[in-house]
Amino acid sequence: MLAVDADEVDRKRHLDQGCAMSSGQLDDEYDREEAEAIAAALYLTPNELNEIEYTIHEIANDDGLVYGYGVEIKEGAPQHILDKLAPLPRRGNLVLIHVQGYADDADQEQMEIEMARTTVYKVKLYNIATDEVVISRRMATYEGAAKMGGWTVEGTGHVVDVTDLEPGEEWTPRDFDAS
């Protein structure tokens, strides 16, 4: 579980209030609540979360203070779920999430700095003048490609700092090199 201390406090409170739940029922309830929080942080439904195998990793500063969590998605996840996760911020192979109440809010700023990354893709555009599909000289997020009137090329994603995007836009400058 993500927050053992909070779970222990809740468990004791339930027992003190005379709740007639067994330890197993409480564990199931906490697991369900945790899964719902993780699904919400990943912008997935609980059913979609059940379709994937994942591991939660703590992200801590040099002093060991946990300020966020990363979700490692195991191989074999359905493509429609991977597509939903693609625009989310990453740190290496981890999808970064902030589960309310689990990370120290004093370190939220550090988490936001770490999360200031996005994934951009090559974009296909239809050129009405030549009646051809061309590859844009810019790379864009999914939203940026849609704003441009194009669509992303799967398998071309690169994680970049949001500062690499044009100010206020969802795409990079022309001839951007994401390598």
Residue 169 has pLDDT above 70, yes or no: yes
Please state, in angstroms and rounded to a whole number, the distance separating the CA atoms of residues 68 and 52: 21
Mean pLDDT over 22-26 rounds to 67
* pTM of the complete model: 0.43
CB 71 within 8 A of CB 54: yes
**How would you label 29-48 residue by residue, b for 16+ Cβ within 10 Å and e otherwise?**
ebeeebeebbbebbebeeeb
Please state, in angstroms and rounded to a whole number, the distance separating the CA atoms of residues 103 and 65: 9
Q: Residue 125's pLDDT band (boundaries 50, 70, 90)?
A: very high
Q: Would you state the torsion angle of the CA atoms of residues 45, 100, 19, 30, taken in this order, to the nearest 10 degrees? A: 50
Cα first-last separation, the chain = 37
Residue 53 has pLDDT above 60, yes or no: yes
